[in-house]
Amino acid sequence: MNPASLPARHLTPVTAYIGVGSNLADPVHQVTSALDSLGSFPGTRLIARSHLYRSPPFGHPDQPDFINAVAHIETALDPETLLSELLRLEQAHGRVRLFANGPRTLDLDILMYGTECLQNAHLTLPHPRLAQRSFVLLPWLDVAPETLVIPGQGTIARLLSNCPGPMALPL
Ligand code: ADP
Ligand code: MG
């Protein structure tokens, strides 16, 4: 393909943050192995990975604790293609969608993609529920600059100070 015909984002990698979670089938292994795989996506580099955090289940208490982490990547993929790669990786880890907030072998969410704000049938950016989730915000602080502003929402530290529910704990 002629490089001149590619959109600019294919030529200049975009900074994105990916939330990773699991509470089934050896969650520490699921999360660690998923973090390893992110850098194998086409045109994508894993820049940093957070510590792992443990948190009680959200929504449905009768399921195992979750293990969560956040990855900082740089990618030449557009957001829709990045989401397809993430959903494919979830499938490869045996993800079955039982019900909302139910147990899962692997959950991969695009928290933020550059400064892009969009909402369509498949994808909302920034991720619509990140402000309520300490298990996303705490690991995100490990890999994002303190000054990072989530479009329309302020810094991660500010969101964390207003975040309801129990705190995630580092492993
Ligand atoms: P949740 O992560 O909120 O528990 P799921 O993992 O079951 O929910 O995701 C359901 C759908 O959410 C996905 O199939 C995807 O199309 C959609 N979605 C919308 N925005 C995003 C995003 N920013 N990151 C990942 N998935 C998203
Ligand atoms: Mg998800």
Domain regions of the chain by residue span: 3-170
Instruction: Name the residue at shortest CA distance from atom 26 of ligand 1.
Output: 109
The span from the CA of 83 to the CA of 80, in Å, is: 5
The whole-number pLDDT of residue 64 equals: 93
Q: How far apart are the first and last CA of the chain?
A: 46
The span from the CA of 65 to the CA of 120, in Å, is: 31
Instruction: Name the residue at shortest CA distance from atom 4 of ligand 1.
Output: 101
Among 139, 148, 163, CA closest to 52:
139
State in Å: Cα 164 to ligand 1 middle.
21
User: Which of 38, 106, 109, 118 best tests ligand 1's pocket when mutated (most atoms within 8 Å of CB)?
Assistant: 109
- Considering the domain 3-170 in this protein, what is its CATH number? 3.30.70.560
The whole-number pLDDT of residue 20 equals: 98
Answer yes or no: is the C-beta of 133 below 6 A from any ligand 1 atom. no
The whole-number pLDDT of residue 9 equals: 55
Per-residue pLDDT tens digits for 28-74: 999 999 999 999 999 999 999 999 999 998 778 889 999 999 999 99
| Angle at CA of residue 28, ends 37 and 38, nearest 5° | 15
Going along 12-150, which residue ranges are E strands? 14-22, 44-49, 53-55, 66-75, 107-113, 118-119, 124-125, 149-150
The whole-number pLDDT of residue 12 equals: 86
Do 18 and 38 contact (CB within 8 A), yes or no? yes
Residues (pLDDT < 70) of the chain are 1-11
